[in-house]
Amino acid sequence: MGYGLGVDLGTTFTAAAVSGDFGTRVVPLGRDVVAPSTVFIGADGTVLTGDAAEAAGAADPLRVSRGHKRRLGDPTLLVIGGVAYSPAALLAAQLRDVVALVTALHGGPPDAVVLTCPAIWGPYRREHFDEVPRLAGLDNVHIITEPEAAATHYSTERRLGNGELVAVYDLGGGTFDTTILRAHHNGTEILGTPEGIERMGGIDFDEALLTHLDTRLDGALTTLDPTDPTTTTTLTTTRTACIKAKEDLSLEPDVTIHIPLPHTTHHITITRTEFNDMIRPSLSLTTAALQRTIHSAGLRPGDLAGVLLAGGSSRIPLVPQMVSDTFGKPVRVSLHPKFTVALGAATTARPKPAAAPVPFLPPPPPPAPGPRRRLPRWLVPALVATVLVGATALVGWSFRNDEPTAQGGTGPAEGPSAASSPAAAPREPGLVLFEDGAVAPYQSTVGSPQGDWVGTRVGVGGEVTHPTVSVTSSAAGLRATWNGSGPGQVYLQDPAGGSDLRRFLDGDGDGDGALVLDVVVRTHPTGPVSLAAHCGFPCSAEIPATSAFRRLPVDREAEVRVPLSCFTAAGLDAGKVDTPFLIATGGAFDATFTGIRWVPGAGAGAIPCEELG
């Protein structure tokens, strides 16, 4: 069986995902998983895209194009290096490079490609977008709207009930879309009239921040000499700093931006409150657009099951706050808001398995008449168990990345924690702590006695080295390497304080939730390993886990499930958890952790507490 490819050609970033019998997953297109939607045209006509275009453009910024998706359909062509290009041709270059990369990674081209576009685009813009795959030399390409793709992926994470109504609030880098969808067993249906704002997204928030800096500098940026070659470099550097500051303000209360003006470098601190005040008027326009979309479908906010947030800019903390306050409905965030559209497109592109032929079986002979006899009461449970075991043997379910995939047969289980049967299947994805990076509000942190156990934060793409342990955080996971010279710990913590996580325990109180993590062990631990969860000093719970990690295979991804009841039995107060994951050892140990989450109902397939150590 082949695979399908989903591509989200965004205004600022491009994301891709693949789907097949291996499941559905994001394809890393660059150092930040997504690739910048940037095109560079060399003097010799060479066309570069993504990270390569950004690198080349740093030396020759006049040959770079960004944000050209916004110009799609504009009759005025873009002139780059003295040559005219249509936005469709630049998008086609991006798509061609994505498909080439994915083809090389998978050893062959995808069976189908699904592209996404804003729901607010009319026939004129859609007609121009239809040119993109043709210019890229592709056939067998299907186009769906971004909200449809987002809802498709969301339904794989948390099943939408038949007839359930959800609003999709999609705030990306350059556009805003809002759509009302009704879920069906075989897909979704758009209700009412999708609405959006053509020039609304992360780019505009970057510009608002840049304008604010210029005001703080008394117009020093706008008065720069446009004929000076250093002006373009200064503005590009400052704009890049604004983008990073916008992202950092989702986690930090304030950031300092360094602005390299010709004669001096200025350092300006921006608080999250200031940034929120800059973008609040624009976000008010988005909630008003969503209100009109709801009315166009003949609905009221109370008719919705919730509002699904999609798009990278929906990660800004003010967004879910304003949406929740305005509509009074649950705000549902995908596990991968930045990749939701690409993942949904990949799911749509996934090849459908051929139906297995149904063998002809002759009807059984009628039973011989005889007296009816009631089964002994003790035999009924045994028969039920036999049926359940038989059913389990017929069909297994893989829950890797929280996306269940039917698999014929059961296959060999990888240790007691392998999720290979319905008994081990989580009822919902749960609370995701780390996936392609720490998930806000949690932060990846490293501590050791040499630093008086004061934690050092590790950002995505960052590396921190302590005397006893070093950690790198990337889309590939959280890799921790203990050198065996002393104790060190790696943990995920909410710096704002504890949260009530009792909902992840069983409602009857027997604690069948589990800490679930995907692990690739590079080197087995040479000393005792412990797992812990904290509930505000001095409240904590620590449990031994040495055997759990020593049993794992080397250089192969495996899943570990630890019952949450092990932590509560050790003293954890689940009503105020600030550190839901901590791993520590004093021996040598090298492993990469990802997909770290608390999952209700996953305790049935977890390692028993007494077998962890």
* CATH code (residue 88): 3.30.420.40
| Tokens linked to 480 | 């921790």
Q: State residue 87's pLDDT score.
A: 95
Q: What confidence tens digit (pLDDT) does each residue in 124-176 have?
A: 999 999 999 999 999 889 999 888 888 788 776 655 677 889 898 989 888 89
State how many domains the chain has: 2
Q: By the 8 A CB rule, do 434 and 593 touch?
A: yes
Which of 260, 170, 246 is closest to 208 using CA atoms? Answer: 246
Least confident segment among 53-67, 185-199, 410-424, 501-515: 410-424
* 568-590: average pLDDT: 92
The answer to whether residue 334 sits within a structural domain is yes
Domain finish residue from 300, 329, 349: 349
Q: State residue 394's pLDDT score.
A: 27
Confidence band for 521, pLDDT divided at 50, 70 and 90: very high
Q: State residue 361's pLDDT score.
A: 40
Q: By the 8 A CB rule, do 313 and 297 touch?
A: no
In this structure, are 310 and 459 located in the same domain?
no
The answer to whether residue 454 sits within a structural domain is yes
Confidence band for 189, pLDDT divided at 50, 70 and 90: confident
Alpha helices in 60-201 (DSSP H): 87-106, 123-135, 146-157
Q: Is the pLDDT of residue 514 over 60?
A: yes
Q: State residue 383's pLDDT score.
A: 32
* 62-68: average pLDDT: 91
Q: What is the CATH number of the domain that holds 442?
A: 2.60.120.430
Confidence band for 609, pLDDT divided at 50, 70 and 90: confident
* 321-327: average pLDDT: 92
* 343-348: average pLDDT: 92
Q: What confidence tens digit (pLDDT) does each residue in 374-410 have?
A: 333 333 333 333 333 333 332 222 223 333 333 333 3
Q: Is the pLDDT of residue 119 over 70?
A: yes
| Tokens linked to 483 | 């050198």
Q: Is the pLDDT of residue 289 over 80?
A: yes
Q: State residue 338's pLDDT score.
A: 78
Q: What confidence tens digit (pLDDT) does each residue in 419-453 have?
A: 333 333 333 468 999 988 888 889 998 887 755 56
Higher-scoring residue by pLDDT: 90, 373: 90
Sign of the four-CA dihedral 546, 552, 558, 559: negative
Q: pLDDT exceeding 70 applies to what percent of the chain?
A: 84
Higher-scoring residue by pLDDT: 392, 48: 48
Considering the chain, what is the average pLDDT of its residues?
A: 82
Q: State residue 393's pLDDT score.
A: 30
Domain finish residue from 328, 349, 370: 349
The answer to whether residue 240 sits within a structural domain is no
Confidence band for 53, pLDDT divided at 50, 70 and 90: very high
* 305-322: average pLDDT: 87
The answer to whether residue 370 sits within a structural domain is no
Q: Which of 53-57, 373-377, 392-396, 495-499 has the highest mean pLDDT?
A: 53-57
* 479-486: average pLDDT: 90
The CA-based dihedral angle spanning residues 133, 135, 140, 142, taken in that order and rounded to the nearest 10 degrees = 20
The answer to whether residue 206 sits within a structural domain is no
**Other Cβ atoms closer than 10 A to 44:** 5
The answer to whether residue 340 sits within a structural domain is yes
Confidence band for 506, pLDDT divided at 50, 70 and 90: low
Alpha helices in 138-228 (DSSP H): 146-157, 202-216
Domain finish residue from 333, 349, 365: 349
| Tokens linked to 145 | 């709207």
The answer to whether residue 238 sits within a structural domain is no
Least confident segment among 132-146, 156-170, 528-542, 596-610: 156-170
Higher-scoring residue by pLDDT: 98, 462: 98
pTM over 0.75: no
Question: Is residue 247 exposed (0-12), middle (13-18) or buried (19+ Cβ within 10 Å)?
Answer: middle
| Residue range(s) defining the domain that contains residue 104 | 3-199+292-349
Higher-scoring residue by pLDDT: 544, 23: 544
Q: State residue 64's pLDDT score.
A: 93
What 3-state class would DSSP assign to 263? coil
Question: Is residue 235 exposed (0-12), middle (13-18) or buried (19+ Cβ within 10 Å)?
Answer: middle
Residues 6+ apart with CB under 8 A from 379: none
Q: State residue 162's pLDDT score.
A: 77
The CA-based dihedral angle spanning residues 312, 317, 320, 324, taken in that order and rounded to the nearest 10 degrees = -170
The answer to whether residue 465 sits within a structural domain is yes
Least confident segment among 303-307, 308-312, 345-349, 518-522: 308-312
